[in-house]
Amino acid sequence: MAGKLLLDLREQAGEDGLGIDELRDLGDKRSNELILGELSRRFSSDRVLSEESTDDTSRLDADRVWIVDPLDGTREFGEGRSDWAVHVALCVDGRISAACVALPALDAAYCTGDDLTCPPPHVGATRILVSRSRPPALAEELARRLGGELVPMGSAGAKAMAVLRGEGDVYAHGGGQYEWDSAAPVGVALSAGLHASRLDGSPLEYNNVDTWLPDLLVCRPELAPGVLEAVAAVAEQRP
């Protein structure tokens, strides 16, 4: 529903001559309103943490909290690209129990209730997915150590799902994110048998007082030990 709304909005904005910044703001707002309305109607007793809403701190005492990014990748959405996403995840006692990541421009959605499987191994250089606008130095160092190549892409959801789709092998992010950036992608990735953790290998925990999550790793499971070792080696070299 939110994906269709965003696609229709982008098409209409082009016809109406709406500016890119106006389109991005409107997309965030309208998608958030739709998702929160549906969650309120279906799960009225649950709490919600959304990028586009004021943080309701009562969520900290709730067993069930929905973590939402109504439009992940507003830059790409406004530019008419396909690498943006919609994230919805259910957090129970700090862990993601259900999640869905939609890639509306690709007419695709990946949910934990689906029969998701890890794609077959890629033959060739390890493909490391990085931000189009802010590629971290970590990714460049990982590419050097792993003999890999960098693949620029938009939103966090798009990059995580690219691993699931077999379009990339490693998504390592060290530049900082918020819980809504990774909650749904991590839930979907884990359900498909991919590796998902902090960069030090520790589990990702959600519904924290501070919603800032410094780092993230999503990758093929057989690559995880080597990637984590490389990340640790990079960390040791830093002053």
pLDDT of 4-35, one tens digit each? 999 999 998 877 777 899 999 999 999 999 99
pLDDT of 192-235, one tens digit each? 999 999 999 999 999 999 999 989 999 999 999 999 999 999 87
Residues 174-183 have a mean pLDDT of 92
List, by residue range, all CATH 3.30.540.10 domains of the chain.
2-111
132-136, 168-172, 210-214: segment of lowest average pLDDT: 132-136
Q: Helix, strand, or coil here: 170?
A: strand
β-bridge mates for residue 181, sequence order: none
Q: Helix, strand, or coil here: 2?
A: helix
Residues 118-141 have a mean pLDDT of 86
List, by residue range, all CATH 3.40.190.80 domains of the chain.
127-237
Question: Which position has the token pair 């606008």?
Answer: 133
- Asked if residues 73 and 58 have their Cβ atoms less than 8 Å apart, the reply is no
pLDDT of 51-94, one tens digit each? 999 999 999 999 999 999 999 999 999 999 999 999 999 999 99
| CA–CA gap between residue 75 and residue 24 (Å, rounded) | 7
Of residues 17 and 158, which shows the higher confidence score? 158
**Residue range 127-237, CATH number:** 3.40.190.80
- Let me know if domain 2-111 sits in CATH 2.60.40.10: no
In angstroms, what CA-CA distances link 33 with 1, 67, 89, 115, 131? 12, 14, 16, 29, 27
**pLDDT bucket at 188, cuts 50 / 70 / 90:** very high
- Please write down the long-range contacts of 225-231, taking CB distance under 8 Å and 24 or more positions apart: 226/146, 227/142, 227/146, 227/170, 227/172, 228/197, 228/199, 228/200, 228/201, 230/141, 230/142, 230/145, 230/146, 231/138, 231/142, 231/172, 231/199, 231/200
